[in-house]
């Protein structure tokens, strides 16, 4: 076990040996194994955005086995997906890559302003499929947020009792927050704090913009001169907001974009002390060899940070 992984595990001393072992599995697997950094492949976009928007660019992605292969070939720390995708490959690829079962999902066919995801899996499913962790999305800013907080409180308790790790995707969204506010640095930092308080071991947020959304927060950012001018500074602030860096915070890739723009973001995230990335569309929407090359480039930036 590397010194860094041991140090990270020490932040989670309240957890049982099963959960610590599963956290270690996530941290020790793949090309970044042992570095304390993670790159995770998430493929829940088929449910969240629909099949064509997700897979038409690279039709190999319609096949659930493709994503296991991509995560394995690229040496990702883990592969995260909803129930159906994991059930379709968990036996064939058993033991090849740590799995994270996403326990809630929402589709884009209902266009209300307040996301209210359904529970689409449970802890027993995660155990049956050999997962290392459960995954759950919360939408701070939605009128349904309190229901989500209560659901993850129950699920996290159950998962931890069963020795699993808990990953929370924290996405501010809904009628309580403006579009610009969804990625505002104060809001993303707050979202990371909420996920940490809900007991997440790993927290996933979007890269924060320089916008400050909440008036009460703005006064503090200004009076305390919190540096948020560059992406690296904002990432540092978000990581600090999740228990002063004592929780693993990783950042999403976002919509498919050009190589250079993505790499620039990753460099800033690494410079700001981010623990890694979760890269979905930017990887599985490219041809596999290109995706593997890109994921390796991303991993090497984190490895050398
Ligand atoms: P991407 O790299 O494709 O952005 O995936 C990361 C992710 O967290 C997915 O797990 C999730 O489906 C997606 O972002 C949600 O995106 P949106 O903001 O459009 O709901």
Tens digits of residue pLDDT in 62-107:
999 999 999 999 999 999 999 999 999 999 999 999 999 999 999 9
Residues in the chain: 305
Angle at 53 between CA 50 and CA 54, to 5 degrees: 80
Q: Does residue 98 have its Cβ closer than 6 Å to ligand 1?
A: no
SS3 78: strand
Which one, of 63, 70, 68, 60, lies nearest residue 99 by Cα? 68
pLDDT of residue 77: 99
Render the burial of 180-213: b for 16+ CB within 10 Å, e for the rest.
ebbbbbbbbbbbbbbbbebbbbbbbbbbbbebbb
Residues 6+ apart with CB under 8 A from 164: 18, 19, 22, 123, 126, 127, 131, 132, 133, 134
For residues 207 and 46, give the distance between their C-alpha atoms in angstroms, rounded to a whole number: 22
Q: Does residue 44 have its Cβ closer than 6 Å to ligand 1?
A: yes
Residue 255 CA: which ligand 1 atom is closest? 4
DSSP classification of residue 207: P
Is the pLDDT at 253 greater than 80, yes or no? no
Beta bridge partners of 137: 169
Start-to-end CA span in the chain (Å): 20
Proportion of the chain in helix, strand, coil states, percent, rounded to 5: 45, 15, 40
SS3 133: strand
Give residue 9 CA to ligand 1 midpoint distance, Å. Answer: 27
Give residue 68 CA to ligand 1 midpoint distance, Å. Answer: 18
pLDDT of residue 111: 83
Take atom 10 of ligand 1 and give the residue whose Cα is closest.
42
pLDDT of residue 255: 72
SS3 160: helix
Q: Does residue 265 have its Cβ closer than 6 Å to ligand 1?
A: no
For residue range 142-181, what is the model confidence (pLDDT) as tens digits? 999 999 999 999 999 999 999 999 999 999 999 999 999 9
Give residue 19 CA to ligand 1 midpoint distance, Å. Answer: 25
Angle between helix 17-28 and 3-10 (nearest 10):
140
Residue 256 CA: which ligand 1 atom is closest? 3
- Indicate the top mutation candidate among 40, 135, 171, 280 to test ligand 1's pocket, ranked by most ligand atoms within 8 A of CB: 280
Residues 6+ apart with CB under 8 A from 293: none
Residue 42 CA: which ligand 1 atom is closest? 10
Give residue 3 CA to ligand 1 midpoint distance, Å. Answer: 32
Active-site positions read 204
For residues 103 and 119, give the distance between their C-alpha atoms in angstroms, rounded to a whole number: 6
Residue 281 CA: which ligand 1 atom is closest? 3
**Which is it for strands 165-170 and 133-138: parallel, antiparallel or unpaired?**
parallel
Question: Percentage of the chain surpassing pLDDT 70?
Answer: 100
For residue range 19-75, what is the model confidence (pLDDT) as tens digits? 999 999 999 999 999 999 999 999 999 999 999 999 999 999 999 999 999 999 999
Take atom 20 of ligand 1 and give the residue whose Cα is closest.
48
């Amino acid at each position: 076990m590397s010194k860094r992984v041991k140090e990270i595990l020490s932040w989670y001393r309240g957890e049982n040996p099963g959960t610590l072992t599963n956290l270690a599995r996530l941290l020790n697997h793949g090309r970044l194994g042992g570095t304390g950094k993670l790159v995770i492949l998430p493929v829940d976009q088929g449910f969240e955005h629909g099949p064509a928007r997700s897979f038409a660019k690279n039709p190999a992605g319609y096949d659930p086995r493709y994503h296991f292969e991509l995560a394995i070939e690229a040496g990702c720390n883990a592969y995260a997906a909803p129930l159906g995708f994991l059930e379709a490959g968990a036996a064939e690829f058993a033991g090849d890559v740590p799995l994270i079962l996403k326990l809630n999902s929402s589709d884009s066919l209902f266009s209300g302003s307040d996301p209210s995801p359904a529970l689409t899996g449970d802890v027993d499913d995660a155990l049956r499929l050999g997962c290392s962790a459960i995954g759950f999305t919360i939408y701070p800013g939605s009128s349904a947020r309190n229901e989500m907080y209560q659901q993850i409180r129950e699920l996290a308790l159950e998962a931890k009792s069963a020795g699993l790790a808990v990953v929370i995707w924290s996405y501010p969204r809904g009628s309580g927050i403006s579009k610009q506010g969804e990625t505002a640095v104060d809001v993303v930092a707050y979202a990371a704090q909420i996920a940490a308080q809900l007991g997440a071991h790993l927290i996933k947020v979007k890269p924060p913009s320089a916008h400050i959304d909440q008036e009460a927060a703005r006064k503090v950012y200004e009076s305390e001169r919190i540096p948020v001018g560059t992406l690296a500074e904002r990432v540092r602030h978000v990581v600090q907001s999740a228990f002063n860096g004592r929780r693993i915070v990783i950042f999403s890739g976002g919509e498919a974009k050009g190589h250079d723009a993505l790499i620039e973001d990753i460099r800033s995230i690494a410079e700001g002390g981010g623990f890694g990335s979760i890269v979905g569309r930017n990887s599985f929407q490219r041809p596999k060899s290109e995706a593997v090359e890109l994921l390796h480039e991303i991993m090497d930036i984190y490895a050398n940070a």
